[in-house]
Structure 1
Amino acid sequence: MKHLILLLSGVAAVGFAEPGQPSLSLDQALEMARIHSPKLKAARLQTQAAGEAVNASGRWKNPELDFEAEGIGGDLDGFDDTEYTLALRQTFERGGKRKHGRAAAEQAAVAAFQAEAANELALLAEVRQAFIEAAALQETAKVRAEQEKLAAEFVEVAKERFDAGGASELELLEAELSQDETAMERMDNAGELKTARIRLASLIGIPVVETGRLTADYYTLPVPGIRAVTEAHPLLRQRAAEVDVLRAEAALAGAADAADITLGAGVRYQALDDENTFVFGASIPLNFVRSGKAAQSAALTRAEALAAEGAELRRRLQQELSVLLSAYTNARQDAEMTRDRLIPKAERAYELSKAGYDVGRFSWIERIATQQHLAEIRIRYIEALREAHLALAEISRFMQEDI
């Protein structure tokens, strides 16, 4: 899983940064999200509360201390013939109530932990997506800046040729128009990049100015290490734990029909004879109405329904994973074909148009067209990589991390 965690961190620096500007890697962004996310904090507290509930479950009931006094002043003799009884009573639960109650609490704790894990996976996938969006826009900004620089150089050449009578006013206008269009595209890209940075900063809980330069190995596309959803997926384990909770509750409901026994022992003092006697007692409820079996049957039926929902959840997750893997494969193929076939040809076409224009074989319009076409193909490559990385970010939701 580490190769996915390091998917966008490491080798290549994406975009531009002023000297001394801080950088932000994907690993750092993920760790910040773990620390600052209110949703994860709430999930951790839920897990902690469930763990504390386990410690409180399956315990013995507290004993009861009984005191009784009879005949206090009933015959106007004061306390001379009063009887006092002091006894200690303890209830013993039968039918495995303590065991089943603790089992239900333990499975509830497992469900809470898996819910926390699922929330963390979803958050980290969202952070990856935001990071990728910003990284792609940074790389696009790099292309736009180079394109704008070339456009400015074209305008200077066009002015020189126009002043020397070697170019028409139309060529000069076309060069200036290309420069203006490139500048507008760069401004649009800058606005989108700012928005992407704001979204990323809000997810990881830092001011947007602290995002700095995003560093990423943007041009590396690893092979996903998963093809099928396993039972270790947090959502599936959470659902399985919820089923076990219902089954434990069903067993507890069935045990409710078992009558508990209360035993008591103590001392009775008779003031009239000044005697102390030992007393012993026992009580057991008469469970004529037995509702435990009905409650047990209802809980088991709910458990079966939840298990069926778990099977549907697994099918849906597998379908989603298969779609994402297909999308990743398509985007990766598009990126590789663009890199290996389109970009070399576009670069060659641009070099030929530039050399041909210098010797008068090609027009200024043809030179601008090949330059713009090269920029468009480079941006297409960036977009194909972006789609592949976004698919990988979604795929990471199906892979257990070091939680």
Structure 2
Amino acid sequence: MLGYEQRLNERKDSSLFRSRKVRSSDAHWQLDFSTNDYLGLSQHPDIKRAFKQAIDTWGVGSTGSPLLSGYSKVHQELEELLAEWMNKPRALLFNSGFAANHGVLTTLVDKQQKLFADKLVHASIIDGMQHGEGRFKRFPHNQPEPLIGKASPGDWLVTEGVFSMDGDVCDLNHLAYLKQRYGLKIMLDDAHGIAAYGAEGKGSLVADSAVADVITGTFGKALGVGGAFVCADDDEIESLIQFCRDYIYSTAMPPAQAAAIKASVEIVRSAEGDDRRGRLAERIQYFREQLKQRGLKTIESNSAIQTWLFNSDEDALNMATELQAQGYLCSVIRPPTVPAGSSRIRFSLTSEMSKPELAQFWSRVDRILSQL
């Protein structure tokens, strides 16, 4: 039996077997807690209009890789906008956050450099480190010392702004201190922070973008579209253009997609974006209060990602099944995605969830808990 066949059979016989859920355009849920559309922009009429208008001009595809025929004026304008927004010299577009993180770590880190990464970084960062030339070690979550004491100038510290599974954040001030003390280069993946937090939606680095030498982010979460970007200095971006296989050998994102992203960024930076972030913050505070009032086990987080931890995989699955039967789309996150013993229901909140809807959800939770 081939290795993958044995692994597949073992997975089928376990409680960890994954299945895809098919979305329908007419599907209706009371609330969708599995979405990453934190600001509700995926259905914004101005963004959809920008997408449609660009299709009429450019068609539905880019028709080539970015170094051949796939790089358009729309892509260039979006990169310039992103660089200005993130206060970095240049930006580069990728088709996914996975490709962006993988590409940075396999291109910009050489065998003389060491990488120190948070234990909870995304799988794309782990794969990038494994496939790259640099030696890497992972430190306990948000506790880089004393491991970082082994760093040399030019080594890399890799972390996330808002952590994707726990929803907590990195310590930006501590990163700045470590960067200065050890001469580190810092890569920060802000996939879950960009657009959702900070003035103009600048994300985790709103206070000081210079802390991170390389910023990666996605358009598929709070910006409501798809694709990703890297912001960095000129030499780093030019090196990615020249040497990054994830960039060179991929068809560029469609110009229409880039136009929709540009429209989304403009909304995020406007008064409307401020309003949506304000509503999101209110929903987060309310949800946190409800978790604490019921004494439910959770992880401290002021982000849109909230967690309900369970003592066993079975308990988490049973609760999620009950909630889905009540019309609430929520997902159980289990090992190996999260550490053993930390199975949870992961709730993603959005600015468009109303307080009455959330109050009704907690009423349903109380009813389920009273029957257990």
Q: What's the TM-score bracket when you normalise by the shorter of the two chains?
A: under 0.3
User: Normalising by structure 1, what TM-score?
Assistant: 0.18
More strand by share: 2
